[in-house]
Amino acid sequence: MALLITDACINCDVCEPECPNDAISAGEEIYEIDPARCTECVGHFDKPQCQIVCPVDCIPLDPRHVETHAQLEAKLQRMTPRVK
């Protein structure tokens, strides 16, 4: 699953720099997570870093974007440039 930032977000700016996939960006009112780029930090960390640093616990799993661990790994591979 991708993650989702809820409207409980206080725009504290701590999550965006923690995302290894650049999936988090400032939205019109709150930060947003691009589900096409979110891998829940699979391939980088054991736990999603945005969830760890969020002071208000407003980053749950997004039920609209259900993915298995294998699908998240495959997404990361598609986003990672191949070295020749």
Pick the CATH number of 16-79 from 3.90.700.10, 3.40.50.2000, 3.40.640.10, 3.30.70.20: 3.30.70.20
Taking only the tens place, the pLDDT of each residue in 10-20 is: 999 999 999 99
Query: Distance between CA atoms of 69 and 84, rounded to whole angstroms?
Result: 26
Per residue in 20-69, pLDDT (tens digit) is 999 999 999 999 999 999 999 999 999 999 999 999 999 999 999 999 99
Q: Specify the pLDDT at position 61.
A: 96
CB 50 within 8 A of CB 15: yes
* Pairwise CA distance, residues 68 & 19, whole Å: 19
Q: Give residue 63's identity as a one-letter amino acid code.
A: P
Which of 30, 58, 29, 79 is closest to 50 using CA atoms? 58
